[in-house]
Chain A
Amino acid sequence: MRRPFVQGMLDGVPIALGYLSVSFGFGILAVRLGLPVLAAVGISFTNLTSAGQAAGVEIIAAAGTLLEMALTQFVINLRYALMGFSLSQKLDATFTTPRRLLVSFGITDEIYAVAISQPGLLTATYMMGLIVTPVLGWSLGTFLGAAAGELLPTAVSNAMGLVLYGMFIAIIIPPARKDRRVLFVVALAAACSVVFRYLLPMVSGGFAVILSALAASLAGAWLFPIEEEAMT
């Protein structure tokens, strides 16, 4: 049997490869908005989040206030708080407070999805391994995109815009196929999001996502509550 840290690093390789292409797109965006290459890499290394970073560099480019920056990051990244709650139910005794402080840095959509789908409880060393490879992929991809992205043809960089969403679809669909309750929640969240986009355009994108997701998962939790064994 492999050591947990090494197993985590290996499980992180597909995530890192996905991040490499997504963060390449972020690097291109940051430089286009006038940020230096080093700042783009610094943001990726300290934030490790796609949607929050994309919104953040837009605010920097528009010379927004620090309060606006803080509020935007809070709303867009609020889902990580809920993923943290969810993961906190699945930690084994090796998770001391310093280790929790360290591992919490690496809670992302994809790392959460891989971790939560592991059988049994999670060890701290496995989680550290699972985080290391994606952090490297995310930072390296940002550097490559920021330093060399302008060399790409427009058709290619436009198509790269789909990589992030393609990855989201790959996370959502398999559990939705297996579990009809997840399918219901996912379809309802998408429907709410469409309603916000076309019928309630005054609600900003970040809030529309949070409200749609909350409405759909509240409905799911009310109609189909989860028994104890399902989450561990």
Chain B
Amino acid sequence: MTDAPTVGFPEGELGPVVRQTVTDFEQWVFVTFHQLSHYVRTNRFYGLLAFVVLIAGLTLAFEVDAGIATVRVQQLFRPSEYLSNYLVYTGLFVVLSAAFFGGDALSVDFSTGTGYYMLVLPIRRPVLLAGRYAAAALVTMAIVGVYYVFGTVGAVYFFGAGSIPWTLLEASYAIAAVFTLAALSVAFCISAFVRSPAAGVLVTVLALYVGFATLQGTIELAGFEPWFSLSYAGGAMAAVLDTDFVHLQTVPLGEDQYYTIWSATVSEGLEIMAGYVAVFLPLSAYLYQRKESTG
């Protein structure tokens, strides 16, 4: 630190400024916090949260209306079965959140003035990406967490707190976190490709929700296991809670005709998700690093 006053500024308004070396990790933490502060104030965050609360609340309301006895019979008297069925929309909410918060996470730097603010700072682009990725993951997990809270409240109401399979529930939430990372990796990659933020969000939703589901169905019809599909891997979130889990189901369609349905095991699902993170996240970083502000 120097005692010499800096020349050229109104006296008393500027003293020597100490600028410390900032590690990439410290910058990552601040970028995550900065991004998180932005995300939780956006209309898309409140909109998605309202959507999740609406779906979760309505589902719960209908079940309460049906009565405890009916729900218990429907769910084979198993709270894990109830949770597995109740949390069936987790994948949808993760995909929507990944699209909303990841679909334009990088393209925003090349289509709006945000890039001229953030990309001229002394921060490496992979650090920026990692901060935004972490913030998007945290927001998504918060939204999914609300859904899980509704599910847990329902399970406690119908089956009692003592019978809740807490470990399995935690495992399901942890798998949802991994699924979130995989979905965000794809979303970030799309975002690094496209220039328009709106296009990034739309393409992410189409790819993750419609594209994978269609592909999975087609491949299953052809009699193959869709082991490469992220939506297939997402089944592990419910599979971990499903006490009657079956990896392979054969459904008769007619005379000598069968339709085979595969469900990902927990380990298989996690492997697929990890594969998506391993491929798409570095690809996103590479594309983001090379992208130019030509606008």
Chains A and B come from one and the same complex:
no
